[in-house]
Amino acid sequence: MYHIFPLKLKMEKLLILVLSLIFFPSFSQTQVEQSQTFDCNNKAFRDSLVSKYLEKKAHQIDYNNPKYQLYCDSVLMVCPNVACAYQQKSIPYMKSGNFEKGMKFLNKAVEIDPEKYMDYRAFMKCIFTKDHKGAIEDFEKAEKINPNKFVMDHSYPFFKGISYLGSGNFKKAEIEMLKDIELQTKNDTSITAHFNSYLYLGIVYLEMQEISKTESFFLKSLDQHESLPEANYYLAICLQKKENARAKNLLEKAKKAIQNGQSMNEDNLLYANYPYQISLFEINQKLLELNN
């Protein structure tokens, strides 16, 4: 008497065997199927898997290459508690706009290692999925774990400020943006903050109709990045009623900058629009408005 395994189970066992032959030629089928054979609680062992199959293989190919996911899966097949393998699996989905699937893997990474990936998930919620409430909650948790830390080149308050701005809570956005600038400058007037920190604080004051403050922060942003399209565009909006000619000039600068490939210089602009990021269409519409 013998059992006939369901087709799905047979396929899963076949996949494990194939992967073991491709990625783990020195492992037996039994070893690959029974991850308890390996000491997955041993950080050195987990790190060796990450080095061999992620750093030396997955990171050497495009993340859209089918082998990329297989390299990630090969790590998890041996040790399902390797957080960075889940985080790496999420990247292709998040960058292609499949947020549901990407967040599924990213949530697993946070579950395993919140200290390392809570702030990264918060960033993804802020910039990619535009889940402002979720981003703020994650950043508040991350702040308790790692106070005054930065992620993706900016402080936690920077992204919290963007999230409050996106949700329409301008007063809290102002508080966070001021914290961001203070963290960078430490109240030393000889030190300047990131030009996008000044840009977003200017946008906050624009939304609050505090025009004098708005102008000063856009000018601080332009002192560092004179071609920044957003700073030129929003400063033009501030000036359009009292200095029409100057406003037009600023809009032409913003238009030329975008046509020449100038931008906010954020690493993920290729995959996601930052809040209040402008386009040629918006600039042209504003120019038409000022010319009429």
Structural domains in the chain?
A: 7-210 (1.25.40.10), 211-292 (no CATH)
First to last CA, the chain: 88
The predicted structure's pLDDT at residue 148: 87
Global pTM exceeds 0.95: no
The predicted structure's pLDDT at residue 4: 38
Of residues 53, 80, 81, 83, the one with CA closest to residue 68: 53
pLDDT one digit per residue (tens) for the chain, 292 residues: 334 334 443 444 434 444 544 444 444 444 444 444 689 999 999 999 999 999 999 999 999 998 999 999 999 999 999 999 999 999 999 999 999 999 999 999 999 999 999 999 999 999 999 999 999 999 999 999 999 899 999 999 999 999 999 999 999 999 999 999 999 999 898 899 999 999 999 999 999 999 989 999 999 999 999 999 999 999 999 999 889 999 999 999 999 999 999 999 999 999 999 999 999 999 999 999 988 7
The predicted structure's pLDDT at residue 18: 44
The predicted structure's pLDDT at residue 152: 95
The predicted structure's pLDDT at residue 32: 46
